Amino acid sequence: MLNTLEVISTGPLSLIEDLGRIGFGRQGVGRSGSFDRGSHRQAQRLVGNDDAAAGIEVLLGGLSFRLMSDAVIAATGARVELSVDGRSIAQDTAEMVRAGQVVKLGRCTNGLRSYLAIAGGLDVDATLASRSTDLLSGLGPPALNAGDQIPVGTPMIRSKLRQVTSAGTRVPTSVNRQVTADVSCTLRITVGPRDDWFSTGALTRFLNASYVVDPASNRVGVRLRGAQIFRGEHRELPSEPTIPGAIQIPPNGLPLVFGPDAPVTGGYPVIAVVVDDDLDLLAQCRPGETIRFAPLS
């Protein structure tokens, strides 16, 4: 029997996401999908789903909902005050929720994006083999709204609930990151492809800088404030393919890191690319927090 999730409130932004659209770049379609894929996978595994099942990416808490039938859920990623009918429950653990109980992801205390999984996965229609909302292209389901009724699929291993429940309580590394006085996040990068568009001095400046995450950041791109990097090469760059993690240097000299919903081509030089797994860390960096870049040796 199909279950249904009824949205009561959404917080600032709650989106249905899976692991994204792979292989449609040539059609002009970006990857999209959960920004912090490590936390997404962890949540889906906790409830016994395939990694690629669709869940909800919750920005800064605030999502509350009820289910029409009993189901196992898990919430990972950013720390939130998680409760069922007002009773506090643990994150990073599979929890049985009864029909009609109100689940709330309350105040967000650390990180930025929480990941909610429900056994069976969210069963909305797929677009290009994915259920992800892409905020740039508009592909996939719309952002969640209060009153939405979201179909939930049939769990794969209903009878194995006990094993699922004990599956693990690992806090994802993306949230358990090292927070020091002045640097909240170090992202590993590979330098290039267009590092030769910058002087050695400009590249060194970029590698030594601490950048602050700008509030105008989103899933399309994370904007950074700090040392401006100006290119030495003033030709026009013909549009070239881009991927999430690309660090573009626009004319204002302030780096822009492409997120999962970034465009598939760009006309500004990419000075370096964030290691794919470290996008999980970037997903959890709040506006005002500090980022440094560390080249892979």
Partner 1 sequence: MTLAEEGLAVHRYGERAFLVDCANSDHALGWLAAIEAYDTIGALHSRPGASTVLVEFDPAMTDAGELEQVLGQLRPLAYEQDPAASVINVPVVYDGDDLADVASITGLSVEEVIAAHSQGTYKAAFVGFSPGFAYLRGLNPRLVVSRLASPRQQVPPGAVGIADRWTGIYPRSSPGGWRLLGHTSLMIWDERLSTPALLQPGTVVRFVDASSDTADA
Residue ranges that bind partner 1, judged by CB under 8 A: 22-29, 127-128, 136-139, 190-194, 238-241, 243, 245-246, 263-265, 270, 273-276, 296
Closest CB to partner 1 among residues 55, 140: 140
Smallest separation (angstroms) from partner 1 to the CB of 261: 12
Closest CB to partner 1 among residues 40, 194: 194
Smallest separation (angstroms) from partner 1 to the CB of 139: 7
Closest CB to partner 1 among residues 151, 263: 263
Smallest separation (angstroms) from partner 1 to the CB of 67: 30
Residues listed for the chain: 297
Closest CB to partner 1 among residues 71, 291: 291
Smallest separation (angstroms) from partner 1 to the CB of 24: 8
Phi, psi of 77 (to 5 degrees): 80, -140
Smallest separation (angstroms) from partner 1 to the CB of 164: 27
Question: CA-CA distance, 256 to 136, in Å (whole number)?
Answer: 15
Closest CB to partner 1 among residues 11, 30: 30
Smallest separation (angstroms) from partner 1 to the CB of 25: 5
Closest CB to partner 1 among residues 119, 270: 270
Question: CA-CA distance, 226 to 210, in Å (whole number)?
Answer: 7
Smallest separation (angstroms) from partner 1 to the CB of 213: 20
**Angle, alpha carbons 271-255-247 (nearest 5°):** 45
C-beta atoms surrounding 154 within 10 Å: 12
Closest CB to partner 1 among residues 209, 243: 243
**C-beta of residue 262 within 8 angstroms of C-beta of residue 246:** yes
